[in-house]
A = this chain, B = another copy of it.
């Protein structure tokens, strides 16, 4: 099988490749990294090749700046691109934050601007994919993942599945918390990407959601991703919200937390990444692969360890990994990226974890190797009956050689239906604005977002986004 990766020079790719190649079961004859930027190919790309070699798969990872070469012969394509880069993200955040609004990269104004930059680019890749590998399946990580998958689903001929590890990560943590084996867990999950709830959690047929709610304070100490929610509010919801729901349930606290931290996540990541390519290049020039990996891995660790701590707790991102703290923090990390060298990803768990775990679960299921229920972003059909059949939703789906079939009735907490309906309406309008290139429609789409206080401010922000993002949004008129 050949796997092509759009955004092959992204910083997460070496870890992704290590994860993919460390797992038993699926073997790829080629993992082709598509990356137009030469500096990224020569640093991140090369690092990914070294990882493959260290794992005994020398030659499996290839690099190309040519999309035809990348797609031809591909069975699966991963898409994980960031149009506008880290600087674009910073603009997304700033325009919202300086108005006292949520500036997170995937939700609210920031997510809207990101989607508007990204949709035309992704759709043009999809056109190429339909030409060079019409049978391939696109596995979309590109954020905002639900919105982008909706655009692909409605406006392209490509078969696409949107994936995010947030809900499966939450389920894994809940299982661990209850000392349950993940395979005996049944659950209900539903919503949109980055706006989902776990409303039932059964272990060996017994409903345990009540236990989880009763012990929610304990769960918050167990993992900080549950920590930002008011426990009594969660109990009233009757469901466990996933971490991104925070931006909807506590927008004002988020704004205050970022102010306290002194810098937004985007600013931190930009700062963190800025020296990374240079450091890796320097290490490679010095011929030291291990140093290159260390420079890389340290920064990825800082990033992971500080995930959501700015937004939820107002903690500034540390400039360097605390000595010794690394392993401990990693111990809480369900993604399995717990080893500091190029060797196999730790644990050897055959349970999918992290981005690559979910992606591999989808691939294993679609090839018929291991049919499974995976939470994905896919065409709704009748799964959430208050949305349209054509909407893309985030729900568990049965996946096997026959395709992707969403399960019925991902029951949401009652109070979430209105919120989800509203966000989906916003998403539909963003997609329409992007494919028609209509700037006013984009502003009105943004005005429909529940985190945006009105039409006037939405118009102002859209104006500012268009001005500051320059060519990336120049198609909007």
Contacts and interface: CB of A to CB of B under 8 A. Distances in A.
Interface in A401-416: 401-403, 405-409, 411, 414-415
A444 B402 contact: no
Contact of A447 (B205, B233, B396, B408): B233
A230 interface: yes
A251 B449 CA distance: 13
A285 interface: no
Number of copies: 4
A400 B385 contact: no
Nearest to A382: B409
A477 interface: no
B183 A368 contact: yes
Interface stretch (A5-13, A123-131, A290-298, A451-459): A451-459
A185 interface: yes
30 contacts: A159-B205, A183-B368, A183-B400, A184-B368, A185-B401, A187-B402, A202-B402, A232-B444, A233-B447, A236-B440, A249-B454, A249-B455, A251-B454, A371-B371, A382-B409, A382-B411, A386-B386, A386-B421, A389-B409, A396-B398, A398-B405, A405-B407, A406-B408, A408-B409, A415-B425, A415-B429, A418-B418, A418-B424, A422-B422, A422-B450
A372 B385 contact: no
Interface residues of A, number: 71
A262 interface: no
Contacts of A382: 382-383, 385, 408-409, 411
Contact of A400 (B373, B420, B422): B373
Contacts of A424: 418
B250 A403 contact: no
A135 interface: yes
Given A252-B453, A418-B421, A205 B405 contact: no
Interface string A377-405: 00011110110010000011010111101
A456 B403 contact: no
Contacts of A420: 418
A278 to B, nearest CB: 40
A454 B253 contact: yes
Nearest to A100: B100
A162 to B, nearest CB: 17
A31 to B, nearest CB: 23
A421 to B, nearest CB: 3
A260 interface: no
Interface in A352-390: 368, 370-373, 380-383, 385-386, 389
B425 A421 contact: no
A186 interface: yes
